[in-house]
């Protein structure tokens, strides 16, 4: 029988990997918030070709942070670069727009130390208005789950397992439970789990990288847990500028916003082709592609 380890007797290191793109002021707040949050902490910022002085700011104001300058090859590439420099026992993939409370990091680590079949965990993410970020609490995006979401059936009947599969909205959000996937802006991962799935798929430039990663972790037999007893403030979408919750504070350019909308749809197609196409008949694939084309039209490109 596998016995849980005593978290009080182990000085586990947490490596936090942040992929940054033109979020200088928010990144500064993020790093200030992380300082002193956990006694054995390593923070790595991979800058994806920012032109707002982010990289220089980190080098000057946060000498305790490992800062890496890269050309912008996407969030997955940045995360993989960060992992190459990390030395931790656990990895926390963190958005520069995410602000964990003081007890969150140690709480998540202790939970993982006592639940050895859990490969990933994520806390309750709260938006600026205090509502839940449901993107951090999702089921796997099967064609049916996607249909109920985009047709608004999940919104009309959120408490049923038939229609609430996309956001798992039928679950008791006040208690810990297993989920299908979480977002890469706060994903706490066991090192051996990351190693077993061979990192992030760099075909996903932005959006969908977390869906793909979680899918592969679940396929490998690990659990992904939602732990609402721990909280994080999430200024969702501040780097991409296409989220209602942060449009007023985002400094993303119009060109960036346009590209991000396009990547949301590209990620859908890529994920389906990688994981689902071989599981469904060709008729379903035709329907899925039609839906993706409709989404491209509705999003204006």
Q: What is the pLDDT along the chain (301 residues), one digit of tens a residue?
A: 334 444 443 479 999 999 999 999 999 999 999 999 999 999 999 999 999 999 999 999 999 999 999 999 999 999 999 999 999 999 999 999 999 998 999 999 999 999 999 999 999 999 999 999 999 999 999 999 999 999 999 999 999 999 999 999 999 999 999 999 999 999 999 999 999 999 999 999 999 999 999 999 999 999 999 999 999 999 987 766 555 555 555 566 677 666 767 778 899 999 999 999 999 999 999 999 988 888 776 665 5
CATH number assigned to the domain comprising residue 177: 3.90.550.10
Asked if the structure places residue 150 within a domain, the reply is: no
For residues 92 and 35, membership in a common domain is answered with yes
Which pLDDT score is estimated for 239? 65
> Are 12 and 118 members of one domain?
yes
The span from the CA of 177 to the CA of 224, in Å, is 9
Indicate whether 30 and 131 sit together in one domain.
yes
* Shared domain check, 263 and 222: no
100 plus 231 within the same structural domain: yes
Residues 264 and 227 in one domain: no
* Statement to judge: residues 177 and 225 lie in one domain: yes
Domain boundary among 191, 206, 238: 238
| CA gap 93, 190 in Å, rounded | 11
Residue 167 counted as domain residue: no
Q: Are 205 and 291 contained in the same domain?
A: no
**What is the pLDDT, as a whole number, of residue 264?**
84
pLDDT attached to residue 245: 56
DSSP the chain: -PPPP-GGG----EEEEEEESS-HHHHHHHHHHHTTSSSSEEEEEEEES-SSSHHHHHHHH-TTSEEEEE----HHHHHHHHHHH---SEEEEE-TTEEE-TTHHHHHHHHHHH-TTEEEEEEEEE-TTS-B-GGGSB----HHHHHHHHTTHHHHSTTSTTT-TTTTTTS-TTS-EE-SB--TTEEEEEHHHHHHTTS--TT--SSSHHHHHHHHHHHTT-EEEEEEEEEEEE-TTTTTS--TTTTTT----HHHHHHHHHHHHHHHHHHIIIIIGGGS-HHHHHHHHHHHHHHHHHTT-
Domain identity same for 269 and 128: no
Whether 243 maps to a domain, the answer reads no
Decide if 207 is inside a domain: yes
Do 180 and 290 fall into the same domain? no
In a domain, 34, yes or no: yes
285 in a structural domain: yes
pTM to 2 decimal places: 0.90
Question: Is the CB of residue 204 less than 8 Å from the CB of residue 74?
Answer: yes
In a domain, 156, yes or no: no
Whole-number pLDDT of residue 291? 87
Number of domains in the chain: 2
Residue 168 falls inside a structural domain: no
Domain membership of residue 107 as a residue range: 7-137+173-238
Whether residues 212 and 116 fall in one domain: yes
Do 301 and 185 lie in a common domain? Answer: no
């Amino acid at each position: 029988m596998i016995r849980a380890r005593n978290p009080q007797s182990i000085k586990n290191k947490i490596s936090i990997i942040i992929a940054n793109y033109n979020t200088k002021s928010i990144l500064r707040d993020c790093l200030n918030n992380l300082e002193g949050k956990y006694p054995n902490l390593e923070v790595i910022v991979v800058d994806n070709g920012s032109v707002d002085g982010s990289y220089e700011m980190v080098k000057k104001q946060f000498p305790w942070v490992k800062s890496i300058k890269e050309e912008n090859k996407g969030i997955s590439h940045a995360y993989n670069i960060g992992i190459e420099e990390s030395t931790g026992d656990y990895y926390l993939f963190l958005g520069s727009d995410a602000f964990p409370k003081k007890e969150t990091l140690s709480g998540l680590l202790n939970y993982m130390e006592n639940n050895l079949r859990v490969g990933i965990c994520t806390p309750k993410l709260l938006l600026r208005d205090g509502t839940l970020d449901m993107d951090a609490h999702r089921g796997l995006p099967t064609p049916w789950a996607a249909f109920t979401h985009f047709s608004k059936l999940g919104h009309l009947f959120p408490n049923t397992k038939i229609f609430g599969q996309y956001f798992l909205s039928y679950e008791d959000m006040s208690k810990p439970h297993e989920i299908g996937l979480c977002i890469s802006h706060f994903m706490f991962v066991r090192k051996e789990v990351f190693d077993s799935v061979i990192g992030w798929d760099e075909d996903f430039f932005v959006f969908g990288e977390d869906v793909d990663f979680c899918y592969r972790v679940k396929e490998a037999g690990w659990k992904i847990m939602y732990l609402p007893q721990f909280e994080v403030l999430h200024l969702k979408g501040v780097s991409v500028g296409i989220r209602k919750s942060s449009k007023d504070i985002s400094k993303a350019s119009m060109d960036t916003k346009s590209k991000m909308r396009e990547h949301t749809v590209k990620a859908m197609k890529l994920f389906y082709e990688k994981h689902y196409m071989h599981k469904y008949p060709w008729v379903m694939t035709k329907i899925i592609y039609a839906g993706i084309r409709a989404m491209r039209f509705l999003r204006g490109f």
